[in-house]
Amino acid sequence: MPTITLNRKVFEKLVGKRLPTDKLKERISFLGTDLESIDDKEINVEIFPNRPDMLSEQGFSRAFSSFIGEKTGLKKYNVKKSPHKLIVEESVRKARPYTAVAIVKGLHFDDEKIREVIQIQEKLHITYGRNRKKVAIGIYPFEKIKTPIRFIGMKPKDIRFQPLEYPKEINGLEILSKHPAGKEYGHLLEGKDTFPVFIDANDKILSVPPIINSHDIGKITEKTREVFIECSGFDYDVLAICLNIIVTALADMGGEIHSMDLSLYGKKRISPDLSPKEMKIDLDYVNKRLGLKLSQTDLKKYLERMGYGYEKGKALVPSYRADVLHQIDLIEDIAIAYGYENIPEVIPKVATIGSEDPFYIFKRKVSEILAGLGLQECKTFHLTNKDLQNKAMNINLNLIELANALNQEYDVLAAWNIPMLLDVLKANKHHEYPQNIFSLGTVFKKDASEETGVLEQERLASLLCSEHTDYTRTRQVLDYLLRMIGLDYKIISVEHPSFIKGRVGRVIVKGKKIAFIGEISPEVLENFELEFPVAAFELNLTELFGLL
């Protein structure tokens, strides 16, 4: 979890109230953060990953001030419309397709405020931005930029500018090999025919995200009064929230937020959008979950204590909150505002003897066997997207879609785990080979006989990836695993669009088909940008356990 250093004087000024140190320690801890140290000058606090909006003096002070009852309710930010435009061109679609942008004016920077801006940018990059893979942030002195700005794709050799803190002008490929930031983040552009570039109306390059800004117009100083902010990545909704976190922090520094007209492949947007999101909240459900007897008045009070608005049975969620996906997230904040220390302790009226579930003992045994063979275990998400599950795998499964998906990156439940592990290999191409990995995860498929209409099963997926990988090597892994479990099996030849024809089989144990095994097809490898062969199997652990 990220740790931030807060200037105590700035923090207390923003909060609007100075608390005794003992009281301050207590309240910071009860807010749901981990206080590491505090003195007269600095506060060091660990922020949980679900609250990136608190990764700055401004964001943390905003949340804390509301929590202690000083400045409660939904904080409103005014966005002034500007004539400035940013155009996202088709040429950047395959490199880094989306951006969210804003302008903030009326700033007065000094060393302290520049430190605060650098801290929030760095912390957001590491956490919310997943080391710039998911989100890359650029902040520029707007006085040096002429609009309209374009976000375009350029061939690396055609990109020439002086990167930040570098002594001379170099091209795009040289940035990756010579500049420190290029060496650290170059793998994010590895294999791309074009690099994403922000360029102004004077054809001056602002930056090559997610690598580096320009030395000329990509560095804020104490003379800067206006800034242009961009967040680039692969999901507009994610970028918009990150942008909102930054612009609201700058507004709390005294800046004025100005919007830009954003052209996304011909579609018009106004960025940023700081309007709150409405979410219905059921008082009976709140009380049932918390074991309390709150009234509507109490509900409104505690929501406002956590920085929300409340109108006609709906919570108004701030535009900078990235963690509120369901009303249970609101309930968690209500519990924090009510105070966990105020919830009475109740001894359960039942006596039980706990024991570990036999199936989880079985899963642990499987994991230990594979780890003993040198495979590394990975944890993947249950939520994924249609392209990863179907299109990239040359298959067309009947996937379970989310009714209210918040973004296209996570809009279906995983139907199988091999695509998830191939995506792990794609993200780790810059590491050494061989890369032999496995995962134990839940998969979901439609089944009308189930109460929920969805059948959940545990599956093991195993992938071997190196220049010497083939069908024989992955079958040796499967053979060893089943022999250690004590089961005989046979394999029959089948066809599967994700595997090479003639090198794929169906594993049968006691007459039941429980696995696919084979070499991944070249088309699928190309879809995941993998250069080495991959052999894999996916084993239904739920059914295998039943056979035992």
* pLDDT value of residue 341: 87
The model's confidence at residue 405, banded by pLDDT at 50, 70 and 90, is confident
Residue 71 contacts by C-beta under 8 Å, 6 or more apart in sequence?
15, 16, 62, 65
Establish whether the linkage from the previous residue to 434 is cis, with ω within 30° of 0: yes
Name the E strands within 180-276: 195-199, 205-208, 212-213, 227-233, 256-258, 260-264, 267-271
pLDDT at 406: 66
Domains of the chain: 3-67 (3.30.56.10), 79-271 (3.50.40.10), 277-340 (3.30.56.10), 358-547 (3.30.930.10)
For the chain, what is the largest distance between any 2 Cα atoms, rounded to a whole number of angstroms?
A: 76
User: What is the Cα–Cα distance from 233 to 392, expressed in whole angstroms?
Assistant: 20
Per DSSP (E only), the strands in 200-325 are 205-208, 212-213, 227-233, 256-258, 260-264, 267-271, 277-280, 309-311, 314-317
Give the phi and the psi of residue 448 in degrees, each rounded to 5.
Answer: -65, -20
Say how far apart CA 135 and CA 129 lie, in whole Å: 4
- Describe the crossing of helices 57-67 and 111-126 by its angle, rounded to 10 degrees: 80
SS3 call for 511: coil
Taking the C-alpha atoms of 448, 453, 458 and 460 in order, what is their torsion angle to the nearest 10 degrees? 70
Which band of pLDDT confidence, cut at 50, 70 and 90, is reported for residue 344?
confident
Assess whether the previous peptide bond of 272 is cis (omega < 30° from 0): yes
Is the predicted pLDDT of residue 407 greater than 80, yes or no?
no
Q: Which residue has the tokens 């000329």?
A: 216
Mean pLDDT across 297-324: 94
Torsion of CA 419, 420, 426, 431, to 10 degrees: -130
DSSP codes joined into one string, 64-76: HHHHTTSS-SPPP
pLDDT at 343: 87
Alpha helices in 104-148 (DSSP H): 111-126
> What's the CA gap between 196 and 212, in Å, rounded?
11
Residue 7 to residues 60, 67, 120: CA-CA distances in angstroms?
11, 19, 13
CA-angle at 392, arms to 387 and 394, nearest 5°: 115
Q: What is the mean pLDDT of the chain?
A: 93
Q: How far is CA 87 from the centre of its chain?
A: 25
The rounded percent of the chain whose pLDDT value lies above 70 is: 100
pLDDT in tens, 441-485: 999 999 888 888 899 999 999 999 999 999 999 999 999 999 999
> Of 490, 322, 497, 292, which is closest to residue 392 (Cα–Cα)?
497
Asked whether 263 and 100 are in contact (CB, 8 A), the reply is: no
Phi then psi dihedrals of residue 505, to 5 deg: -140, 165
Split at pLDDT 50, 70, 90, the class of 118 is very high
**End-to-end CA gap in the chain:** 41
pLDDT at 500 over 80: yes
Instruction: Report the distance separating Cα 495 and Cα 498, nearest Å.
Output: 9
Alpha carbon distance 52, 39 (integer Å): 24
* pLDDT tens figures, 178-226: 999 999 999 999 888 999 999 999 999 999 999 999 998 988 999 999 9
Within a 13 Å sphere around the CA of 355, how many CA atoms are in the beta-carbon half? 4
pLDDT tens-digit map of 34-89 = 888 998 899 999 988 889 999 999 999 999 999 999 999 999 999 999 999 999 99
Residue 236 clears pLDDT 80, i.e. is over it: yes
Residue 347 is predicted with a pLDDT of: 85
The C-alpha atoms of residue 333 and residue 133 are separated, in whole angstroms, by 29
The DSSP letter of residue 401 is B
Bridge-partner residues for 459, per DSSP?
A: 441, 540
pLDDT of 390 reads 94
Over residues 259-282, mean pLDDT:
94
CA 176 to chain centre: 25
The least confident of 16-25, 143-152, 272-281, 523-532 is 16-25
